[in-house]
Structure 1
Amino acid sequence: MFEQNSSSSSTMAAESALCSVSRQRERSRPSPAQRLHNLTSASATSSTSTAIPLPQNVFTNPSIQPSSVVNLSHSTDVVIGPMTQYQGPVSIYYMDASMEAHAMQAAAGINSSSNRSRDNSPSKRLNRNTILLITLILLVLATALIVLYVELNRPRSEAANKAIYFGNTYDHDTFPNLGNGHLVIDRIQWGASSNVRPLTVPLRRPIPYVLITHIGVQSIPCSNVYKCSIKMRTIQDAAVAEKILPDIQSNFYVSDEGNIYVGRGWDWANTYANQTLAITFMGDYGRYMPSPKQLEGVQFLLAHAVANHQLEADYKLVAQNQTKTAKSPGVNVFREIRKWPHFYGCGLDDAPACGSELGMTRASWDAKQ
């Protein structure tokens, strides 16, 4: 009985001592940070271990936290704790204060370059380009509105309100305009010679007759200002040198493009008859057809003359072949002008001679002046 009690007492004493030892061991066990410090300290002084510097890329990569790196390879029975000796190959990396600062600077540089790259990203550039484009469009629209406002509020001259007029409205005020694009090319503009004899017979207005002629003799119609100006100078030179006339024959000439070329103009009588306004189609219209612009140009000129009291309101329009034996103004032009409201059928069939009501003789239609 006594032996059993003593045995039980000894067992309890042993268990109590074991618990005490366990508690002491628990209290003496270091924390994880202390164990890592002891591990690195022990590796620095251990003769069986070698301290290998941590590769540079470990510090320059911000995704790796060097303070928590423990690399173990080909090791068994490894215990992380207050141990100073290990069995097997052990590699311990260390990082002092200078290496840690270098790693932080490298990480900061990577973050700043990343921020710069984000600032220059395509989306931001696209946003800037879009803003610039919108600004440019707004400036263009504002300029267009200002120009439109100025044009709408510009004072218009009295001549510009007429359908047919002489006004300097074309090509920076170079050529007067009859309207609808029919230009008036003056003598100085088509290059008329100034070395001619002065005209002596004035043209009295309002004029009662309009005489239509053409150049004839297989003349090709001209279709631009350059070619028609050369043709006008050729006609003038031929009239002065070959026909011994003081100047070009007609008062006005009309080109295929519908422009009006000034011959003797409004002030002086033509070479055909003193009481007529002579208008010549530039070409041979026994062979060629007059263009719609050419016919319209003549009609605009006549309407302008009536509006400005150059012609009588009931003027008579005749062709040259009605006043004398001639092919002028060509069958194609004659066919067209017969449809015009002021056409006068004198000299045809049994009709009286043209100008007889004014006392004009047949010889007066060939004045040669």
Structure 2
Amino acid sequence: MYRKVCTLLLIIAATGGSSALNIISRDGWGARDPTSTQTMSNPVPYVVIHHSASPGACYSKADCIDAMQSMQNYHMDSNGWADIGYSFGVGSDGNAYTGRGWSRVGAHAPGYNSQSIGICLIGNWMNDLPPSQQLQAVHELIQYGVDNGKISSSYKLVGHREVTATECPGDTLYQEIQSWAHYTPNP
């Protein structure tokens, strides 16, 4: 408990005290241990935005924990991956959930896994825009990564569909991220 409180205080201090960013640790959402890990060098030059499609949007911490566990189980048990594929999941509850984290190679964007942070907005964002608190948490998470040397200050932000053939991150979310700072259509 002491460590979790200290981590939260460090996040608040690092973001100037005005942030509402809440990063839930792997222990906090009951993550399984990975079967293996590979270290990634920071800062990374890319941020890749995803949506989960399924599971759908989660509006409470309990539902978002279920969604993170469901994604991890699918990625490990069905795909045979070492862990959940994403660096972070962000719920409609406004929390960021640590997946592989800042410095572990993900399994979310072939060709970019070792040089990107993969952020999954939990939910299907084909026809709807994620709630404002979910979008705000993504912006704050990226800024936290930049401020702490995990993401390059000159990073390029892309939708998953720009690095592989997919509908991810959903049409409506994809349209939204095209207005974000650092967005690039040609990674």
* TM-score over 0.5 (shorter chain): yes
Give distance in 1, aligned partners of 2:10 and 2:28.
25
User: Deviation of residue 159 (structure 1)?
Assistant: 6.8
Question: 2:131 matched to 1:291?
Answer: yes
Question: 2:40 matched to 1:203?
Answer: yes
Question: 2:92 matched to 1:256?
Answer: yes
Q: Which runs of 5+ in 2 are unaligned?
A: 1-8
SS state at 1:284 partner: coil
| Bigger share in helix | 1
SS state at 2:128 partner: coil
User: Deviation of residue 216 (structure 1)?
Assistant: 1.3
SS state at 2:114 partner: coil
TM-score by length of 1: 0.45
Give distance in 2, aligned partners of 1:186 and 1:241.
22
Larger radius of gyration: 1
Partner residue, 2:73: 237
Give distance in 2, aligned partners of 1:251 and 1:314.
19
Moved over 2 A (4+): 157-165, 179-182
Q: Which runs of 5+ in 1 are unaligned?
A: 1-156, 166-178, 347-353, 355-369
Partner residue, 1:182: 21
| Bigger share in strand | 2
Partner residue, 1:300: 140
Superposition CA RMSD, Å: 1.8
The question of whether the paired residues in 2 share the 8 Å contact of 1:197 and 1:247 is answered with: yes
- Structure 2 counterparts to residues 11-50 of structure 1, below 5 A: none
Q: Which amino acid aligns with 1:264?
A: R
TM-score by length of 2: 0.87
The question of whether the paired residues in 2 share the 8 Å contact of 1:164 and 1:304 is answered with: no
Q: How many residue pairs are counted as aligned between the two chains? A: 175
The question of whether the paired residues in 2 share the 8 Å contact of 1:206 and 1:310 is answered with: yes
- Structure 2 counterparts to residues 1-369 of structure 1, below 5 A: 162-164=14-16, 180-194=19-33, 196-199=34-37, 201-217=38-54, 219-271=55-107, 272=109, 273-346=113-186, 354=187
User: Deviation of residue 161 (structure 1)?
Assistant: 5.1
Q: Which amino acid aligns with 2:153?
A: A
Spell out, residue by residue over 1:205-241, the C-alpha distance to the aligned partner (whole angstroms, 9 max, x if none). Answer: 1100111111114x32001111111111111111111
Give distance in 2, aligned partners of 1:184 and 1:286.
26
Q: Which amino acid aligns with 1:225?
A: K
The question of whether the paired residues in 2 share the 8 Å contact of 1:207 and 1:312 is answered with: yes
Give distance in 2, aligned partners of 1:276 and 1:316.
9
